[in-house]
Amino acid sequence: MKKLLLIVSMFLLGAGAALAQDTTSVAPVDSTLVGKDILAVLGPGITLDQTSQVREALQDYVLANGEKPISGYRIRVFYDNGPQARDKSEAIEQLLKKQFPEVLVYRSFESPNYKVSIGDFRTKDEALRIYNALKGTYPTAFIIKESINYPR
């Protein structure tokens, strides 16, 4: 009986300790704020008292790190090495630029393949929105993880 009571009390203590742990999760990034000064997008009625040094430090940080590539996702729409691959990749690049003028399109040649990719997405969910719009026209399109430019 004492063993059973000891086991039950140990279980309850372990469960209580597990519940007491901080399980903070990271919220997804709101891409509508990408490239904007966080101090400038505060809602109405919100005031922020800070020194000019804080604002300058933030601007310096953004300028110093804005050009560094980050890990993210792109959608590979075309990948081929056939005799007409160059012409096809150019045509697909132009079509994508017309269809999605707000999203950057990348065309590259890595011997012997021509590749066309679209987007600088920080999350896979962002890439899926465009992917779902593309998969009817480009059934061989797929999402790839690679270094991207900081979304603008």
129 belongs to a structural domain: yes
128 belongs to a structural domain: yes
Residue-wise pLDDT tens digits, 45-104 = 777 778 889 888 888 887 887 777 789 999 999 999 999 999 999 999 999 999 999 999
- Looking at the fold, whether 110 and 51 belong to one and the same domain comes out as no
Angstrom CA distances, 60 to 41, 55, 64, 127, 143, stand at: 18, 9, 6, 30, 33
- Looking at the fold, whether 131 and 83 belong to one and the same domain comes out as yes
For 28-39, what is the mean pLDDT? 58
- Looking at the fold, whether 116 and 137 belong to one and the same domain comes out as yes
Please tell me the total count of domains within the chain. Answer: 2
pTM over 0.85: no
Q: Which of 40, 65, 90 is the last residue of a domain?
A: 65
pLDDT of residue 131: 95
Closest by CA position to 73, among listed 39, 100, 43, 103: 103
pLDDT band for position 137 (cuts 50, 70, 90): very high
- Looking at the fold, whether 93 and 42 belong to one and the same domain comes out as no
Residue 22 has pLDDT above 50, yes or no: no
Residue-wise pLDDT tens digits, 9-20 = 666 666 555 554
Closest by CA position to 103, among listed 72, 80, 82: 72
Mean pLDDT, the chain, as a whole number? 80
